[in-house]
A = this chain, B = another copy of it.
Amino acid sequence: LSNRFTHFADRLMAAVDEKNSCVVVGLDPRLDLLPAELCPDPAVAGYYPETAAEFIAEFNRQVIDLVAPYAVAVKPQIAFYEQYGWAGLRAYAETIRRARRAGLLVIGDIKRGDIGTTAEAYAVGHFDHLGADALTVNPYLGSDSLVPFLRMCREKGRGIFVLVKTSNPSSRELQDWPGGGQALYRRVAELVREWGKELRGACGYSAVGAVVGATHPAEAAELRTMLPDCVFLVPGYGAQGATAADCAACFAPDGSGAVVNSARGIIHAYRPGGGQEEVTDWRGAIARAAETMRAELERVRRR
């Protein structure tokens, strides 16, 4: 399944089976939390985007090797790179290449949503040039904003995860807004089903997935029923407060159909207080955090 033109959901579900893991590691590196060994003075580095980007790329190289045995995919959040301008985007591209070489799938967390030729430019840029296997997308502009992404799902074995119910508290403002008796996120879920129905792989899941926050277990259960063919990308585990038990509703009865992301809780596991404290064995802390997350989720998934 190393051929990138293989259906995305087939590649993802095969990785889950092979590695006995549904762990996605969020590569959202924060300069002020890097080990001092890699970044001696974050405040200074912050003024030099090229330096900051190099520190981050080097950190990611090491994180990728540390988590590769335990994770099926990485999910770099592009904002943490884009904030350093072109040098940051170069680090983002390098991170993607490195993760792919380590046998990990790459979900670019870009949450783009735009129309016509703009959507086309995003799809080409992020799938072809930058090389992501899958991307997160925002549905607010509707179907025509997804056309180029869906074509790449069909023709090139790529995937998308549509924002349906996000993990943050304010997600209720629009996503839970009741229309004609049902919340907006259910309307989005109907569209996700429509967009994905012709794009199912051999495993039964579609290349069109959904982002469903672990912080909303009741909504997740409801969406799991509505979207049996849809892989869920689940944020909210760890630093955002959701536990493995909160993720349970995101899985199908057979334990398939969802992957769970954690960023800070893994890549900055050596700073549990979030501060600037001295750290020893940061590499061990990262590997152990990924291994622990895998074990906790496997217990839930195989219940």
A292 at interface, CB cutoff 8 A: no
> How far, in Å, is A61 (CB) from chain B's closest CB?
17
With A85-B130, A129-B49 as contacts: A121 and B79 at CB distance below 8 Å = yes
A115-B187 in contact (CB<8A): no
A145-B170 in contact (CB<8A): yes
Stretch from A11-19, A175-183, A200-208, A251-259 forming part of the interface with B: A175-183
Question: At the interface, is chain A mostly helix, strand, loop or mixed?
Answer: helix
With A80-B121, A117-B28, A125-B84 as contacts: A174 and B140 at CB distance below 8 Å = yes
Q: Tell me which of B28, B88, B125 contacts A83 (CB under 8 A).
A: B125
Chain A residues 91-125 with CB under 8 Å of chain B are 93, 111-119, 121-122, 124-125
B83-A129 in contact (CB<8A): yes
Stretch from A1-9, A160-168, A220-228 forming part of the interface with B: A160-168
Stoichiometry, as copies per complex, reads 2
Q: Tell me which of B79, B93, B180, B184 contacts A85 (CB under 8 A).
A: B93
A141 at interface, CB cutoff 8 A: yes
Query: How many angstroms between the C-alpha atoms of A112 and B140 in the bound complex?
Result: 12
Residues of chain B within 8 A (CB-CB) of A83 are: 121-122, 124-125, 129
Interface size class of A (residues with CB under 8 A): 35 or more
> How far, in Å, is A117 (CB) from chain B's closest CB?
7
- 20 further A-B contacts with Cβ under 8 Å, apart from A79-B119, A139-B174, are A82-B89, A82-B121, A82-B122, A83-B124, A85-B129, A86-B87, A89-B89, A113-B138, A115-B170, A138-B140, A139-B140, A141-B168, A142-B168, A142-B170, A144-B169, A173-B191, A174-B188, A177-B187, A179-B179, A179-B180
Selected A-B contacts with CB under 8 Å, 14 pairs: A28-B118, A30-B117, A79-B125, A86-B90, A111-B112, A113-B113, A115-B170, A140-B140, A141-B170, A142-B174, A145-B170, A174-B184, A174-B188, A178-B179
